[in-house]
Amino acid sequence: MTAQTADFLASVPMFSGLQRDELLKFAELTRERTYPKGSVILFQGDPGDSLYVLRQGRAKVVLIGEDGREVILGVLEPGAHFGELALIDDQPRSAHVIAMEDAQLLILRREDFRRRVEANPSVAWALLIELSRRLRRADQKIGGLVLLDVPGRISRLLLDLSAESGTATIEKPLTHQTIAQMIGASRETVSRAMKEFQEEGLIRVERRRIAVANRDALEKRAQIRM
């Protein structure tokens, strides 16, 4: 079981650069937990005491307003991790994380992670690289939300998700409501834009999967005009 966990950790960006013996040590420290679809994995404001790595299923990172409106900050796929800020600053969780499907997670306590960092500084460097990537993605997302109209935001989201999939087809099943929550728009506005995209040949929708049909046109829509 430890060897299988180490194999999985080797596919996670934050751990992929570590030697096999270091991966095995981390695997020995992790504990596994499952969450049914719809359950809350983390509540915003909870004490931050662990790193979570999604092994199976999908989850969403969300903020919920006082009026109950939900804004999706990200959709997590197997291999994604969250809670890494807690490994550094001991601050409460900054958002909710909710299982979108039955999910299996690996959990690593902060104290255990810190001991491994002290024994092997390359672990800390890997964490810094991953935090840098996340900060860059956040900057890009904030810029898009501020400077792009709704069709532009949708275009940028679809292009980013297509790049993650490595193909024209976006593997993540996306409803119009989910897209709306990810870009800060209404479902009705998203539905109108998606219909226009299909009519103009920018995208195809087959079996609830969205495929980029005209990347150049979407890139043009996603450009920030100053």
Domain CATH code at residue 42: 2.60.120.10
> What pLDDT does residue 144 have?
60
C-alpha torsion angle, residues 86, 174, 225, 221 (rounded to 10)? 150
Tally Cβ neighbours within 10 Å of residue 90: 11
- CA 87, 37, 95, 177 dihedral sign is positive
For residues 130-143, one letter each, b for 16 or more C-beta atoms within 10 angstroms of the residue's C-beta and e for the rest, the string is beeeeeeeeeebee
Domain boundary pick from 112, 142, 172 = 142
Domain with 44, as residue range(s), is: 2-142
> What pLDDT does residue 15 have?
84
Looking at the fold, whether 7 and 85 belong to one and the same domain comes out as yes
Domain boundary pick from 142, 160, 180 = 142
Looking at the fold, whether 61 and 121 belong to one and the same domain comes out as yes
Looking at the fold, whether 160 and 133 belong to one and the same domain comes out as no
Looking at the fold, whether 132 and 159 belong to one and the same domain comes out as no
> What pLDDT does residue 139 have?
63
Mean pLDDT, contiguous 10-residue spans, the chain (226 residues): 88 84 90 94 86 92 78 86 78 87 93 84 77 72 71 89 83 85 87 93 86 90 68
Helix axes of 187-199 and 150-165: crossing angle, nearest 10 degrees: 70
> What pLDDT does residue 35 have?
96
pLDDT above 90 as % of the chain: 27
Looking at the fold, whether 73 and 92 belong to one and the same domain comes out as yes
> What pLDDT does residue 141 have?
67
Closest CA to 167 of 154, 158, 180: 158
Tally Cβ neighbours within 10 Å of residue 201: 10
Looking at the fold, whether 133 and 178 belong to one and the same domain comes out as no
pTM of the shown model: 0.69
Domain membership of residue 226 (yes or no) is no
Looking at the fold, whether 215 and 167 belong to one and the same domain comes out as yes
